[in-house]
């Protein structure tokens, strides 16, 4: 006699969802992506920050989203990201120390003072946090490029009622996430940042994520590289010494004539600016050695200080 087993309505859907589950520990390439991602975003941010910020990939795990868990993590700012390739939402969340940590690096701090969480988010902190989170989105696209063409773009920046707003934004059947965790540090200032991808985004790419890419053998000829480096060191560069810069009107400029004397707001003790190919490098004092003028370099030019001075001058 045949035995007919009754199928419960939810069994097939539940089996399909279970098959789509993604255990990060079974996919080693995710950790490799996380490591390269941290290196890429650190390089991008430190190219503009006055002090180097250290970003490290900490761990990867699976979790189910809930507003209460988000509130328990002391999340102070969140950025959502979307893609034209899928309907789910990627979450980037940072704790209460994140804004002060990235601002400390941007303004040239050393992170000696331990920043305590709990302070409200300032407009400056919001600006640098938003900038850093967007850098994570941009470099994340590149980190996954060989496996998943994410094509992520930033969506919404949230700083208030984050759990409630995300709860309304995330669809009920897209609350299973794979989370990349990063440590962001300068000196004693340390913050946590999390980037969470819906499992539905990564699950179709399990095969590619389960294997590590083969390392190609180096094809660089070391002698050729040394010759190239030596050639670059002999390249001609234009160095300029600028005694003074001052503004004038177009009308005054039109009256300049040969033989006219122009008064400058400088003295013999003023520092002369030394540039190379338009890049300000040093300041120094002008002097003479026999019949030649000389520049004695006294200090380096701080790009951050120059940037702030330009803003204040405007």
Residue 147 and residue 287 in one domain: no
Residue 195 and residue 158 in one domain: yes
Residue 178 and residue 308 in one domain: no
Residue 175 and residue 313 in one domain: no
Residue 189 and residue 270 in one domain: no
Q: Is residue 125 part of a domain?
A: yes
Task: Say which residue, 288 or 90, is predicted with more confidence.
Answer: 90
Residue 144 and residue 103 in one domain: yes
- pLDDT category of residue 314 using cuts at 50, 70 and 90: low
Helix or strand holding residue 307 (H, E): helix 303-313
pLDDT digit string (tens) for 123-159? 999 999 999 999 999 999 999 998 888 999 999 999 9
Task: Say which residue, 54 or 117, is predicted with more confidence.
Answer: 54
What pLDDT, on a 0 to 100 scale, did the predictor assign at position 60?
94
Q: Is residue 259 part of a domain?
A: no
Q: Is residue 104 part of a domain?
A: yes
The DSSP bridge pattern shows strands 153-158 and 239-242 to be unpaired
| CA torsion, ordered 152, 157, 159, 164, to nearest 10 deg | -70
| CA neighbor of 184 nearest in space, from 116, 110, 121, 94 | 94
Q: Is residue 226 part of a domain?
A: no
Q: How many CB atoms lie within 10 A of CB 304?
A: 14
pLDDT over threshold 90, residue 105: yes
What pLDDT, on a 0 to 100 scale, did the predictor assign at position 110?
87
Q: How far apart are CA 41 and CA 287, in angstroms?
A: 45
What pLDDT, on a 0 to 100 scale, did the predictor assign at position 119?
77
Residue numbers of the domain that contains 296: 237-252+265-314
Q: Is residue 283 part of a domain?
A: yes
Q: How far apart are CA 65 and CA 199, in angstroms?
A: 12
Residue 186 and residue 245 in one domain: no
What pLDDT, on a 0 to 100 scale, did the predictor assign at position 307?
59
The answer to whether the beta carbons of residues 158 and 77 sit under 8 Å apart is yes
Place of tokens 């302070």: 119
Residue 201 and residue 241 in one domain: no
Residue 136 and residue 283 in one domain: no
End-to-end CA distance of the chain: 91
Q: How many residues does the chain have?
A: 314
- pLDDT category of residue 211 using cuts at 50, 70 and 90: confident
The answer to whether the beta carbons of residues 26 and 131 sit under 8 Å apart is no
Residue 167 and residue 124 in one domain: yes
Alpha helices in 54-118 (DSSP H): 67-72, 98-106
Which residues are bridge partners to 297 per DSSP? Answer: 284
Tokens describing residue 173: 């059947």
CATH number of the structural domain spanning residue 106: 3.40.1550.10
Task: Say which residue, 266 or 152, is predicted with more confidence.
Answer: 152
The answer to whether the beta carbons of residues 96 and 77 sit under 8 Å apart is no
Residue 314 and residue 180 in one domain: no
Residue 273 and residue 185 in one domain: no
What pLDDT, on a 0 to 100 scale, did the predictor assign at position 103?
92
Average pLDDT, integer, range 59-65: 90
State the Cα angle at 254 between 253 and 259, rounded to 5°. Answer: 75
Q: Is residue 247 part of a domain?
A: yes
pLDDT digit string (tens) for 290-304? 888 888 888 888 766
pLDDT over threshold 70, residue 59: yes
Edge-to-edge, what's the strand order for the sheet holding 271-276?
239-242, 271-276, 279-289, 292-300
Tokens describing residue 232: 């670059």
Among left, alpha and beta (phi > 0; psi -120 to 50; other), residue 136 is alpha
Q: Is residue 6 part of a domain?
A: no
- Number of domains comprising the chain: 2
Which of the 8 DSSP states describes residue 230?
A: H
pLDDT digit string (tens) for 220-255? 567 777 777 777 777 777 888 887 777 888 888 888
39 to 80, 159, 210, 212: CA distances (angstroms): 22, 27, 22, 18
pLDDT digit string (tens) for 149-177? 899 999 999 999 898 899 888 888 888 99
pLDDT digit string (tens) for 2-29? 333 334 444 544 444 444 567 888 898 9
The DSSP bridge pattern shows strands 176-186 and 189-198 to be antiparallel
CATH number of the structural domain spanning residue 245: 2.30.330.10
Q: Is residue 27 part of a domain?
A: yes
Q: How many CB atoms lie within 10 A of CB 158?
A: 20
Q: How far apart are CA 12 and CA 9, in angstroms?
A: 7
Average pLDDT, integer, range 255-272: 83
- pLDDT category of residue 280 using cuts at 50, 70 and 90: confident
């Amino acid at each position: 006699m045949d035995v007919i087993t009754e199928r419960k309505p939810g069994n097939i859907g539940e089996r399909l969802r279970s098959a789509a589950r993604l255990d990060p520990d079974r996919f080693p390439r995710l950790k490799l992506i996380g490591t390269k991602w941290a290196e890429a975003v650190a390089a991008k941010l430190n190219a503009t920050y006055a002090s180097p910020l250290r970003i490290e990939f900490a761990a990867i795990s699976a979790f189910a989203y809930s507003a209460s868990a988000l509130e328990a993590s002391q999340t102070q700012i969140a950025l959502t990201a979307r893609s034209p390739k899928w309907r789910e939402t990627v979450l980037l969340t940072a704790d209460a120390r994140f804004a002060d940590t990235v601002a400390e690096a941007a303004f040239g701090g050393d992170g000696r003072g331990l920043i305590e969480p709990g302070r409200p988010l300032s407009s400056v902190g919001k600006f640098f946090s938003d900038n850093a989170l967007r850098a994570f989105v941009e470099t994340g696209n590149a980190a996954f490029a060989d496996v998943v063409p994410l094509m992520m773009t930033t969506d919404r920046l949230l700083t208030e009622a984050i759990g409630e707003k995300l709860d309304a934004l995330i669809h009920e059947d897209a609350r299973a996430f794979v989370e990349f965790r990063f440590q962001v540090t300068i000196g004693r200032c340390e913050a946590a940042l999390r980037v969470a991808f819906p499992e539905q985004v990564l699950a179709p790419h399990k095969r590619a994520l389960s294997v590590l890419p083969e390392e190609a053998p180096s094809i660089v000829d070391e002698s050729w590289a040394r010759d190239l480096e030596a050639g670059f060191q002999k390249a001609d560069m234009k160095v300029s010494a600028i005694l003074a810069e001052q503004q004038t009107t177009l009308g005054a400029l039109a009256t300049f004539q040969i033989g006219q004397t122009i008064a400058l707001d400088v003295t013999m003790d003023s520092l002369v600016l030394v540039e190379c190919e338009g890049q300000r490098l040093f300041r120094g004092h002008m002097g003479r050695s026999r019949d030649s003028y000389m520049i004695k370099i006294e200090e380096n030019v701080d790009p951050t200080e120059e940037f702030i001075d330009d803003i204040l001058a405007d």
